[in-house]
Structure 1
Amino acid sequence: MSTGTTIGVIVVVLVVLAAIAVLAKFLMQRKRLRSKFGPEYDRALEHNGSRMAAERELAEREREHSKLELRALDAATRENYARNWTAVQERFVDEPNEAVSQADQLLTDLMAERGYPTEGYERSEKMLSVGHARTLDHFREAHSIAERKDRGEATTEDLRNAMVHYRTVFEDLLGDDREGARR
């Protein structure tokens, strides 16, 4: 075999290996994103219409999330939030509308205490999706019911469901001092 042919074969092999490496990188990222985001991966895929666009969006959420200064809660703060949540739940019996509003505010306060953005539902939702994708649908549903409540369209059963959804997200954020917390 001539030197030119040998060089050509080496170049072809290197190009094939580079293509395999790039493909492997994409497949590993896809697997990682799917595992990390769970049902949020499928939601992003549906929303974006293409796998590449969905994965770009989720990777961007991760980059933005990494800039947050998330904080763990000390035991006293965690206990205070737990007591406040109990009080909100107890209030539901007599004043369900007010209890849902207080649950929303308490969750917002907890998010802020942990270092999550609270200045807009969409941004909060995206940042929560990075570390709390498993409870994100609860966050969305609670928000949706709270909006219906504000318009006077929510039934007492809707409000009860909102409390269940808020509690799920609240407990996830309250009990999770490992995810993303920078000590």
Structure 2
Amino acid sequence: MSSVTTTLAVIVIVLIIAAAVVMAVGRYRRSRDLRRRFGPEYDRAVAEQPSRRAAERDLQGRERRHAGLQLKELEPEQRQRYAEQWQQTQAHFVEQPEAATREADELVTLVMAERGYPVGDFDTQVQDLSVEHAETLGHYRDAHEINQINERGQASTEQLRQALMHYRILFADLVGDPRGGGPVPRHG
């Protein structure tokens, strides 16, 4: 083998290694960025998908879909009105915890719609919310699950109180209320 051939072979090998390193670094950065953006939702997606790559494609798809939404922040008057409705829902919990839990679900859905999120299907709602509200999404899932138990008439008062607390956390995140909507009262 001539020195020119050897040199060319070494250059090709170095270029292949460099390309592999660049691709690996790119994948690492993409994974890191998705993990930062989606927080616990990243881990959930990885656990639910057949591979990390499939989960990351799913999360990137959520980002693309989210980018196409016409989302808006609430005006101060809207924020105030919703905060008052939330306080009424919480106060209603003392007398009628089942109804208050349904009201909380409806109020969260109403705020989502007002902000521009599609609200037809729960799974789609979760995917759309995951892009900007990943940290509070687990609360929404938990609240929704308890609300479904409530709809079957099988939820305990403590479960309903937990649901209201979970809804409150997402509600506060959606309306931009760092106080979280105030404490959930105990049932009568």
Does the pair score TM above 0.5? yes
Provide the C-alpha distance between the structure 2 equivalents of 1:20 and 1:144, rounded to a whole number of angstroms: 44
- C-alpha displacement of 1:111: 0.4
**Counterpart residue number, 2:141:** 140
Letter in 1 for 2:13: V
- C-alpha displacement of 1:35: 1.3
Which one is further off, 133-142 or 11-20? 11-20
**Counterpart residue number, 1:162:** 163
- C-alpha displacement of 1:60: 1.2
- C-alpha displacement of 1:32: 0.9
> Once the two structures are superposed, what CA deviation does each residue of 1:103-136 show, in whole Å capped at 9, x if it has no partner?
1111001001111110100000111111111111
- C-alpha displacement of 1:66: 1.1
Provide the C-alpha distance between the structure 2 equivalents of 1:133 and 1:66, rounded to a whole number of angstroms: 15
Provide the C-alpha distance between the structure 1 equivalents of 2:78 and 2:40, rounded to a whole number of angstroms: 31
Letter in 1 for 2:72: R
- C-alpha displacement of 1:141: 0.6
**Counterpart residue number, 2:125:** 124
- Give unmatched runs, 5+ long, in structure 2: 178-188
Provide the C-alpha distance between the structure 2 equivalents of 1:79 and 1:145, rounded to a whole number of angstroms: 27
**Counterpart residue number, 1:172:** 173
Provide the C-alpha distance between the structure 2 equivalents of 1:161 and 1:13, rounded to a whole number of angstroms: 58
Provide the C-alpha distance between the structure 1 equivalents of 2:32 and 2:167, rounded to a whole number of angstroms: 30
Percent pairwise identity? 47
- C-alpha displacement of 1:7: 2.9
**Counterpart residue number, 1:35:** 36
Q: How many residues align?
A: 176
- C-alpha displacement of 1:6: 2.9
Letter in 2 for 1:112: A
Letter in 1 for 2:17: V
Provide the C-alpha distance between the structure 2 equivalents of 1:97 and 1:12, rounded to a whole number of angstroms: 68
**Counterpart residue number, 1:53:** 54
**Counterpart residue number, 1:85:** 86
- The answer to whether 1:22 aligns with 2:23 is yes
Moved over 6 A (4+): none
Provide the C-alpha distance between the structure 2 equivalents of 1:118 and 1:77, rounded to a whole number of angstroms: 19
Letter in 1 for 2:47: E
Provide the C-alpha distance between the structure 2 equivalents of 1:162 and 1:143, rounded to a whole number of angstroms: 8
**Counterpart residue number, 2:69:** 68
Provide the C-alpha distance between the structure 2 equivalents of 1:95 and 1:25, rounded to a whole number of angstroms: 53
- C-alpha displacement of 1:43: 1.0
Provide the C-alpha distance between the structure 2 equivalents of 1:4 and 1:79, rounded to a whole number of angstroms: 75
**Counterpart residue number, 1:181:** none
Letter in 1 for 2:94: V
Provide the C-alpha distance between the structure 2 equivalents of 1:18 and 1:49, rounded to a whole number of angstroms: 27
**Counterpart residue number, 1:111:** 112
2:95 aligned counterpart, secondary structure = coil
- Give unmatched runs, 5+ long, in structure 1: 177-183
TM-score for both structures, normalised by structure 1: 0.91
**Counterpart residue number, 2:96:** 95
